[in-house]
Amino acid sequence: MTPARVYLDYNAGAPLRPEARAAMIDALDAAGNASSVHAEGRNARGRVERARAAIAALVGADPRRITLTSGGSEANATVLSPDFVSAGSPIRVDRLLLGATEHPSVLSGGRFAPAAMEIVPVDAEGRIDLAALEQRLVVLAAAGQRALVSVMAANNETGTVQPVAAVAGLARAQGAISHADAAQAIGRVPVSLESLGVDFLTFSSHKIGGPQGAGALVARSEDLMPRPLVTGGRQERGARAGTENVAAIAGFGAAAPTAQREADSVAPLWGAWRDRLLARLSSDTPGLFCFSAGADRLPQTLSVAVPGIGAETLVIGLDLEGVSLSSGAACSSGKVGPSHVLAAMGVPASLARGAVRISFGWETTENDLDMFQSAWKRVVGRIRAAQERAA
């Protein structure tokens, strides 16, 4: 019998929920293009619209303001545009202001030219510098330039929760557009379009236990929308062309209600587990360093490093013990590289190279965390013993 593995990489992607799997299979067993007018097409359209309503409920949005995409990265690329339409008239955005610790799909700048992009610094805990942001917005507004500000709701590496409502308020005061990438926050903490105050939210299905390959762009108002990224058809009310991936959308919608309930009720339990796990790891591992320990963080995310031990060594050792987690400096290729997040926080490169991220979720049990702690103690012990022999 294959030993049970402990999966602690939810920030990369959560396991598929049973209800999402069932909804996908049901959709895959049915024929029909959601744009067709016959019975099969109307049936497919019904699946899409029911899912849209469930996804909108995650953030308290109007379902008509939801644009379904192939994932969070596409949703981000769509909203990061210098060209918007406001109340039917085209408007131009001159500058894109980005938090220094944003996800690579945001740091790429979408459709902005590199010369039009600016990075706003963060503090040692990874929180955006609101004073620096306000100063830059005031200068741009005085020069007659319109800005788009993009700040993630919560960081994928450290779990740091950003002051998005404050960011949105600063942007609004200077006539700027605001966007938050909420991919990591949805299903982990309560997220409300109204309370955050941003013009646009983006998030993805596979972070909450839905399938990979589905995401959403949420607009506050129908009066302000970016020019479509994908053109050629009138799907998604003209906001995104292309035949909808009905099965993935159905799975996304099926996962949404449970994820919403977890954010409201289970998150405090996760936070207690996280803090207890950190205390145990710290006791077992003298010198353990926790990143963003002084910031408001996601309840199920822990980013730590052991000075003198590389992240890749830890990740491989734990994998051999049956535990799956990620390097805090993992890039999109899956290889370990420098973390721009930790660099922006001023973390020394020697410490950043050892950062690993523990993230859990809907299928995690306390026993899983106990098994991880035991595996961690064995792996760190072996590595340190080998280092002592080599020395």
Question: Catalytic pick from 331, 349, 385, 386?
Answer: 331
Does the annotation mark 331 as catalytic? yes
Q: d(Cα 295, Cα 352) in Å, to the nearest integer?
A: 18
Name the token pair of 358.
Answer: 């523990």
Q: Measured on CA atoms in the order 6, 317, 332, 118, is the torsion positive or negative?
A: positive
Residue 389: partners with Cβ closer than 8 Å, 6 or more residues away: none
CA nearest neighbour of 288 among 271, 302, 298 = 302
CA 101 to chain centre: 12
Place of tokens 């979720």: 361
What is the H or E stretch that residue 180 is in?
strand 177-181
Q: d(Cα 358, Cα 77) in Å, to the nearest integer?
A: 28
Q: d(Cα 59, Cα 190) in Å, to the nearest integer?
A: 8
Place of tokens 């596979």: 206
- SS3 per-residue string spanning 331-368: CCCCCECCCHHHHHCCCCHHHHCCCEEEECCCCCCHHH
Place of tokens 């609101």: 130
Q: d(Cα 336, Cα 328) in Å, to the nearest integer?
A: 9
What is the H or E stretch that residue 92 is in?
strand 89-92
Residue 125 and residue 163 in contact, taking contact as beta carbons nearer than 8 Å: no
Residues listed for the chain = 391
Q: Which residues pair with 9 in a beta bridge?
A: 359
Q: Which residues pair with 85 in a beta bridge?
A: 90, 225
Q: Which residues participate in catalysis according to the annotation?
A: 331
